[in-house]
Amino acid sequence: MVVGDFANEVDTLVIGSGPGGYVAAIRAAQLGQKVTIVEKGEMGGVCLNVGCIPSKALIAAGHRYHNAKHSEDMGIIAEQVSINFEKVQEWKASVVKKLTGGVEGLLKGNKVEIVRGEAYFASENSVRIMDETSAQTYNFKNCIIATGSTPIEIPAFKYTDRVINSSGALALKEVPKKMVVIGGGYIGIELAGAYSNMGTEIVVLEGSNQILGGFEKQMAKLVEKRLKKNGVEFKMEAMAKGVEETENGVKVTAEVKGKEEVFEADYCLVTVGRRPNTSDIGLEQIGVELTDRGVVKIDKQCRTSVSNIYAIGDIVEGPPLAHKASYEGKIAAEAIAGEKSEIDYLAIPAVVFSDPELASVGYTEAEAKEAGFDVVASKFPFAANGRALSLNETDGFMKLVTRKEDGLVIGAQVAGPNASDMIAELGLAIETGMTAEDIALTIHAHPSLGEITMEAAEVALGTPIHIVK
């Protein structure tokens, strides 16, 4: 690579190698573009390195340990079960390494140039890419910005070795004895579940009166009930006020329903949301329009207010989900190639890898009614499914939301084991305009959790077999 005033020329420059950026780069290369991708950190971005993937690995390890200790009702009694947390972290790191290495291999296999460093826009057609020792200029015809997001830091809770964000929680060297979690959203609940399964005493401070506010209350209550059974303590309507670090831990002060309380723990985990990474890269000076929240404004082809610059993922409107970023990455790459691709999805699945898992796609019953639909909400319990019974995982239900006039599926919610996998069929049903009858007439394998989808559709039709209506 030549360093200095010489400018490198590319068709498409992608900034960020997360699930939005690397997918966009590969798709652009497939469409015949000369592509360069810039990454200041590790390949794969937050999701693969300190987000989606390592958190699910930690959750899986927690489940294995918890199940080993608590399977007496199935006749399995394990004595002296212990955790080698150093080994857990090594295994988690190996999972991350395989995936990030795989992403790098895919990029190289598609002839995408990889450049390490931070990018700053010099003009509408060029960036300066800087690392610790040098800087170089890249001129581009089009650019896709996929810089992701960063955990929000509360002013009174500056990050330290003891006051940590989700990345810090995934990198702990030992299983904490006690931990305070500020925020009962999906990140806080997933990590609370993982560590409580490994024996950590958890207190969750949630500002509202419900955890997992983006999900139906009945679904969130199932998770809350399971976590409480596992020893997790919840403080609702709690506002974290400050933290004092002690020699071996923290003292967290919070106002709980108007009364001040102090919680001592080894660590304080702050999970109150994420902010888009749109500052300090020169967007304003080249005329890219942002909202007051720092979100980039885009059209249906992910094009910003500067016609040759596109933005995807956490830095644009919509839920900060990896699969949304990947979808948008393909749209942007195809739009640059002159195709008529545009954002036109009917629904995006949302999943929490809690215990039990939660998943939702399309309208909830309440949202559908608020939108003016006359709907039928049809529930089928996991407890009436043979596969769930044989897994000893019977908590939960599936709910189908169908339009009353014709049975069109417009939403679905799943709370139970493998909800994250089961939601895919329901998303497909919504996108393809399927009705409850279409699902009910589709033969599902037995015994499987997938049968629950068919059974819920039969409830919608008024012809359930395995529950009494």
From the list 51, 60, 47, the residue with the least C-alpha distance to 18 is 47
Peptide bond into 381 cis (omega under 30): no
Bridge-partner residues for 350, per DSSP? Answer: 360
Catalytic residue among 63, 66, 446, 466: 446
199: left (phi over 0), alpha (psi -120 to 50) or beta: left
Question: Is 323 tagged catalytic?
Answer: no
Which residues are within 8 A (CB) of 236 and not within 5 positions of it... i.e. 6 or more apart?
A: 206, 208, 209, 210, 256, 257
Which residues are within 8 A (CB) of 286 and not within 5 positions of it... i.e. 6 or more apart?
A: 121, 123, 124, 306, 309
- d(C-alpha 264, C-alpha 250), whole Å: 6
Place of tokens 């209350």: 217
* Residues marked as catalytic: 446
